[in-house]
Amino acid sequence: MAQRILKPESFIVKLLEVPVELSLYNIVDALKGDLKSIISIYRIYDYINHQRCNEVVIIVRDIFEYKEFRERQHFVIGLNEIQLLFDDWYFGAASRS
């Protein structure tokens, strides 16, 4: 019997140094030529200081798009050069009392 190799169903790309003035819509619009399978996008929020951070997380569905995009180190939106971070992410939940 052949053994199945489990693969993740979604792939995560973290965008660094994204200006907080840049809307999520503008980011998705800039990426739509490269990543058509975006299923989620969100901006990291600093709850302690009550402010938006300059990091954005994108979750994509298509492994082939992800692999092509992974070859890049950055991309440009307008005059902003956005750095990309690809990592092995761990999923979980956090809580505090």
CB 21 within 8 A of CB 80: no
Supply the pLDDT for residue 7.
57
Supply the pLDDT for residue 33.
83
Supply the pLDDT for residue 89.
67
Q: How far is CA 7 from CA 10, 60, 61, 63, in A?
A: 9, 14, 12, 10
Supply the pLDDT for residue 8.
63
User: Residue 59: enclosing H or E segment and its boundaries?
Assistant: strand 51-60
Specify the pTM: 0.77
The pLDDT profile of the chain, 97 residues, written as one tens digit per residue, is: 555 554 567 889 999 999 999 999 999 999 888 888 899 999 999 999 999 999 999 999 888 998 888 898 888 888 999 999 887 666 566 667 7
Torsions phi, psi for 7 (to 5 deg): -120, 150
Dihedral through CA 60, CA 65, CA 67, CA 72, nearest 10?
-100
